[in-house]
Amino acid sequence: MSPLPSPQASFTSENLEQQLLQEDALLRGHFRLSSGLHSDTYVQCARFLRRPDLAAPAAAELARQIQEAGLQPDVVVGPAMGGVVIGYELARQLGVPGIFTERDDTGQMTLRRGFTVEPGQKIVIAEDVVTTGKSTNEVARVLEGLGAKVLAVASLIDRTGGKAELTFPNFALLPVTAATYAPDDCPLCRAGIPVVKPGSRPEKAFS
């Protein structure tokens, strides 16, 4: 395994980007996303988060930024699947419980497995990557519908380049600006670059 920047060194977004690249968690090329759009960038944070020695310092930096902003959540909620690991580690760093939402049989995001939030509880949503902000807002609506207050979202990567349409603060360790194209108007396709369909969603996700 190639040497990585020491997790004990001062945290920088440059070090994080290098780690993501070396773990093949941040890829450049020609990809078909779960939305059906094509892109020159693909993010698979699970490959980074499999390394506790890398995940812990990243979560510690997110916790530091959240606390420095004067926010103190009661619970961290990480949407399944991508938010589960980073949500657990962020909750550990903040010293609060960490739970997760998941989709039910109808495809709706919900709390299951006996997880609950109480009216008035303050929540930080943890994501591995914010792609559009749509799923983050969906989780926020579920939690707010139960009477909780969403303080912020915290993520490793903001793939919108800071343009996510959120109504609460967005803490991200690395902004990534990725080009996206409609399949019938993709310059990468016109250039003859083969398209790759990464990730784990079934083919019907692209229909």
pLDDT at 9: 52
pTM tops 0.75: yes
Confidence of residue 202 (pLDDT cuts 50, 70, 90): very low
Mean pLDDT, residues 97-126 taken together: 95
3-state secondary structure the chain: CCCCCCCCCCCCHHHHHHHHHHCCCEEEEEEECCCCCEEEEEECCHHHHCCHHHHHHHHHHHHHHHHHCCCCCCEEECCCCHHHHHHHHHHHHHCCCEECEEECCCCCEEECCCCCCCCCCEEEEEEEEECCCHHHHHHHHHHHHCCCEEEEEEEEEECCCCCCCCCCCEEEEEECCCCEECHHHCHHHHCCCCCECCCCCCHHHHC
Mean pLDDT, residues 20-31 taken together: 94
